[in-house]
Structure 1
Amino acid sequence: MAEQTGRFDGIIEFVEAARLGSFTAAGNLLGVTNSAIGKSVTRLEARLGTKLLHRTTRKLTLTNEGEAYFESCLGIMDQLESVETSLATGRATPLGRVRLDLPAAFGRRHILPILNALSLQYARLDFSVNFSERTADIIAEGIDLAIRIGALGDHADLVAKRLGTQRLMICAAPSYLSRHGQPTELAELSRRDCFGGWRRNQRPGWLIKDAAGNTAFEEIRVRHEFSDGEAMVSAALAGCGLCQLPTWLIGDHLRSGSLVSVLESFSGAEMPIHALWPRSRYMQPKLRVVIDAVTKAALAANSGFDM
């Protein structure tokens, strides 16, 4: 049993030293000397067979391996604290840090207000949020919850919950259409100024709904590429070309007339919206409360988040 307990020696000392950037500060916090903290971390490194901290006379910094280990330790400690609190109080209290990976425009518009409300409701619930169109590796990057738009691959180690569907429309500003005319057939998309998402080693194209109601891929001529939907809207409003965007992003502009729907018989292709999180036997209250709030917001809309 003593050997089993020894497996966890030095973790608290390492976490506090890494968090505070100093053996002395960690020692003051834990009530021991800075040399005792340093020795504990050194023994931990020896047991793991890797260097966790770069040591200088001025401060401590994490190595790449140390960064990964530090994030894992924080997650485990958050989970332990959450379980202990629920046992002590008889209820599950959301506390700790939730790491989220969100599509940029969608995350800012639909998810960020939910997180802000939860932050006001739960004083010990913290968030680290990344807004990006890059598909992050949820497990490898220590992400607690991600929102994905589009078809999902096979992820046996993840749980997926469908939140809704986004509907795509092709549109342009009246100023662009007055200069170049209304497109009337799909073949024109190979000659027009079109906006596309930032793609690497992929053919540029849009999802088109054909006469039978099926979704097909149509290649386009991409003049401008943007990694953010809001930037695409801005370029469209300026009259720079044609774009395909979800109705939740351009609905107000379509209603005001600042953008005009074109090729309507080919519009309406849909993409699913999912929440994904790592599969686990125990879901921490901090994650459960976020998933519940996001799900509730999706159900409050007519068809998920497609508003």
Structure 2
Amino acid sequence: MDTLQFDGIPEFILAAQLGSFTAAALQLGVTSSAVGKSVSRLEKRLGIKLLHRTTRKLNLTHEGEVYLASCLRIMEELRGVEGSFLSGVAEPKGRLRIDLPAAFGRRHIAPMLIALARRYAQLDLTITFGERKVDMVNDGIDLAVRIGDLRDDPELVARRLGEQRLVICAAPQYLQAAAPLQSKADLLVHDCIIGWRSGLRKTWLLTNAKGVVEEQEVRVRHEFGDGEVMLQATLDGAGLCQLPTWLVAEHLRSGALVTVLDDCAGATMPIHVIWPHTRYVQPKVRVVVDALLAMAEQHSEVFGGR
């Protein structure tokens, strides 16, 4: 392996984190100009500019931010491997960034992760919530849970946790006051509550007579960018909503909500945990993946079985 490819990386990491060649030089025991020259050689080798230099402070370029995130992830992975060699036990340690679907993640996964971190004193969590597709490598995300079909990506590893089953439901008071609901075509005249998605068609996923899932146009009354708000509006009688069973099960049991169009409303969506492909899976990643798989096995009412 060409050792030159690592030249300048320690200097770059420290200078970027401290915002100063001088501060980095003090930690490394060299001169400020030596640090600056090392970073310049690294930039020349990469063919990109990593730092904006001013008389007061260093600022990362966009490419510098991406490169720094990759360098930090690799350094942490090396420390994890060395630590497991020294201790003989692959103890999960370090910061783990996990991106979760908003309502599902807050209700079901985040509490488990917090409990897991109490078991492992050196495991630190950064949990974010979002539904959008992310660039896990460039965004520095170690693990993500996603609901829906995944695109084929050789840079990612995926394990199926289960599936999300969708139902169409409404509060009894809404159904009593609304027009009869006998077929999916009636969704074009009813008040429908949907999740807000920029630029996407206003459709729900329904199954046809052959069991094939199709998109069905609906008449949109309200759009909300949060599943909990969608649920509350449905409970308040604001209209029909297509929601996952893990979100509405208790309200269906109590009668606060009732399902409609059951013969065509049972579409499902897979639930996966995904992480960047690497030859060495860090202990902090492995322990969370194992915990998620165990959770999915134990809570079929949430994950719909596997």
Note whether the superposition's TM-score is higher than 0.5: yes
**Contact 1:17–1:25 (CA under 8 A) maintained in structure 2:** yes
Q: Which runs of 5+ in 2 are unaligned?
A: none
What displacement does 1:217 show? 2.5
RMSD: 2.3
Distance 1:61 1:183, change over 3 A: same
1:285-296 to structure 2, matched below 5 A, reads 285-296=283-294
Equivalent position amino acid for 1:12 in 2: P
What displacement does 1:296 show? 1.0
Match of 2:163? Answer: 165
Alignment length, in residue pairs? 305
Distance 1:123 1:60, change over 3 A: farther
Aligned mates of 1:69, 1:181 — CA distance in 2:
58
Aligned mates of 1:28, 1:109 — CA distance in 2:
47
1:214-233 to structure 2, matched below 5 A, reads 214-233=212-231
Residues 271-292 of structure 1, C-alpha deviation per residue, up to 9 Å, x if partnerless? 1111122222221111111111
Normalised by the length of structure 2, the TM-score is 0.90
Match of 1:13? Answer: 11
Aligned mates of 1:68, 1:154 — CA distance in 2:
23
What displacement does 1:243 show? 0.5
2:135 aligned with 1:148, yes or no? Answer: no
2:94 aligned with 1:101, yes or no? Answer: no
Normalised by the length of structure 1, the TM-score is 0.89
Aligned mates of 1:148, 1:34 — CA distance in 2:
45
1:1-307 to structure 2, matched below 5 A, reads 4-302=2-300, 305-306=303-304
What displacement does 1:112 show? 1.0
**Contact 1:13–1:41 (CA under 8 A) maintained in structure 2:** yes
Aligned mates of 1:297, 1:265 — CA distance in 2:
30
**Contact 2:70–2:137 (CA under 8 A) maintained in structure 1:** no
Aligned mates of 2:300, 2:83 — CA distance in 1:
37
Q: Which runs of 5+ in 1 are unaligned?
A: none
Distance 1:216 1:60, change over 3 A: same
Distance 1:276 1:147, change over 3 A: same
Distance 1:56 1:123, change over 3 A: farther
Distance 1:219 1:197, change over 3 A: same
Residues 144-185 of structure 1, C-alpha deviation per residue, up to 9 Å, x if partnerless? 222121222322332221101111111112332233245222
Q: Percent identity?
A: 58
Residues 38-65 of structure 1, C-alpha deviation per residue, up to 9 Å, x if partnerless? 3332332233222212233443221101
